[in-house]
Amino acid sequence: MIRFADINDKNKIITLWHNIFGDDKKSIEEFFVLYYGDIIIYEEKAEIAAMLTMLPVSLNDKKGRYIYAVATGERFRRRGLSTMLLNYANKYIKESGEYFSVLVPAEENLFSFYEKRGYTTVNCTEKCGYDTLPPIKTEIAEITAEEYKKRRKEILHDYAVVEWDTEELENIRRMYDGKFCLLKKYGAVMFCHKDEDTLIIKEVCCGKEYKDKIAAAGAHRFDCRKVKMTCKGTKPFAMVYPAEYRDIYFNIAID
Domain positions in the chain: 2-103, 125-232
* Cis amide bond preceding 134, omega within 30: no
Residue 130 DSSP SS3: strand
Would you say the CATH fold of 125-232 matches that of 2-103?
yes
Q: Which residues contact 171 (CB under 8 A, 6 or more apart)?
A: 34
Phi-psi region of 13 (alpha: psi -120 to 50; beta: other; left: phi over 0): alpha
pLDDT for 232: 77
Nearest Cα residue to 103 out of 91, 115, 88: 115
- Note whether 124 and 237 are within 8 A (CB): yes
pLDDT for 71: 95
| Fold annotation for 125-232 | Aminopeptidase (3.40.630)
pLDDT for 247: 82
pLDDT in tens, the chain (255 residues): 999 999 999 999 999 999 999 999 999 999 999 999 999 999 999 999 999 999 999 998 899 999 999 999 999 999 999 999 999 999 999 999 999 999 999 888 999 999 999 999 988 888 889 987 788 889 999 999 999 999 999 999 988 999 999 999 999 999 999 999 999 999 999 999 999 999 999 999 988 889 899 999 999 999 999 999 987 778 888 999 998 888 888 888 887
Please report the beta strands in the chain, taking only residues with DSSP state E, as ranges in sequence order: 2-4, 39-44, 47-59, 62-72, 100-103, 120-131, 141-142, 162-163, 179-183, 188-195, 198-205, 226-232, 235-241
pLDDT for 253: 87
Class in CATH terms, 2-103: alpha beta
pLDDT for 80: 95
